[in-house]
Amino acid sequence: MNTAQKLARPGGPALVEAMKFVTICRALDPQNDYPHIGDLQWWCRDGSLDDQQNWHFWYQENGEALALGIIAGDEIVCLLHPDFRTHERYRMVHQWAVQRVKERAGQQGKNQYEIWEQTWGLASGDDLEMVSFLEREGYERQEMYYHCYRRPLIEPVPAPVLPTGFTLRPVAGEAEAEMRAALQRDAFFPKGSKTYEEGTLRQLAVMQMPQYDPQLDLMIMAPDGTPAAGCICWVDPVNRVGLFEPVGTRPQFRRQGLATALMLGGLQRLREREMQAALVTGAHPGKEEKSTEFTSSRFVYEAVGFQLLCRTYLYHKVFATTI
């Protein structure tokens, strides 16, 4: 199949190098908000990171990476090795990322471009010096922010309880890519894939990722055979930390406890693979009156034992292509 051939190596060699880098960073500073290797692979699903110019590494003389910049769509990601984490180096990576987005916008004939940036990998989202830098540069903090949750997996995980007639099972490989993609699109619409075809291409790309395991791509099936909820679990075998990305339920199946059962099933499988902890991230709308939109995700995560680890803010700025 031409599509599968095209997506045979999503992310390219830079993805492999980046996975190695964040694995080292997490080993040295496990409580910080570094991306999980599953995050990196999930970001690569739309093909935008196949362009190796959207990755940039800085190295020491001995060849060890000390910083990484990533351009994922309109978002820039600046990551620093814990032993070389200074605000001067952060600004260096940030400057490269802004210039790269500007060059790409110019190549596309745009008069302006926008940049979104999360507060990844410094002391925390409350790092005052970094926040001050972003504000001086004209970035505005968005109301929405992210909560990263962690759950230990030392003790046994309770068995999932499903409504009558519902079953939990893994995806049966690429043969079910279209069905799995439709579930993902419906669960996150209007965010995510615009069409079912686009969703299928992204699902096929995910299935080609280095650490993708179909036994950890889970679905809950309704009694009539409709996929009702789904999640993908990723493993970091070095740091023995798992990740849920994504977790979603089709709208007509919500408020039935499916997400809770799905995550318990995922936690059991992560523990079977000797993971010592699991991570998941949830978006918060930022306003109390919108707290119901912070939905069930927060309550599901807490119900299955996750605790808040850190908060990540999102900053935004619009630039003119030419000055």
pTM of the entire predicted model: 0.91
Structure tokens at 26: 């997490």
pLDDT at 4: 41
Taken in order of first residue, the domains within the chain and their CATH numbers are: 2-142+314-320 (3.40.630), 167-312 (3.40.630.30)
Which among 247, 178, 171, 168 is positioned nearest to 215, based on CA atoms?
A: 171
Q: What is the DSSP letter of 89?
A: H
| C-alpha distance from residue 54 to each of 126, 139, 186, 191, 205 (Å) | 27, 21, 29, 23, 18
Residues 113 and 73: beta-carbon distance below 8 Å? no
pLDDT at 73: 85
What is the torsional sign of CA 17, 18, 21, 22? negative
What does each of the 323 residues of the chain score in pLDDT, given as a tens digit? 344 444 457 999 999 999 999 999 999 998 888 999 999 999 999 999 999 999 999 999 999 999 999 999 889 999 999 999 888 999 999 999 999 999 988 888 888 899 999 877 554 445 778 888 899 999 999 988 888 999 999 999 999 999 999 999 999 999 999 999 999 999 999 888 899 999 999 999 999 999 999 999 999 999 999 999 999 999 999 999 999 999 999 999 999 999 999 999 999 999 999 999 999 998 887 765 444 444 568 889 999 999 998 888 899 999 987 64
- Contacts of residue 39, defined as CB under 8 A and 6 or more positions apart, other chains included, come to 243, 245
Q: Which amino acid is at 166?
A: F
pLDDT at 6: 44
Please state the length of the chain: 323
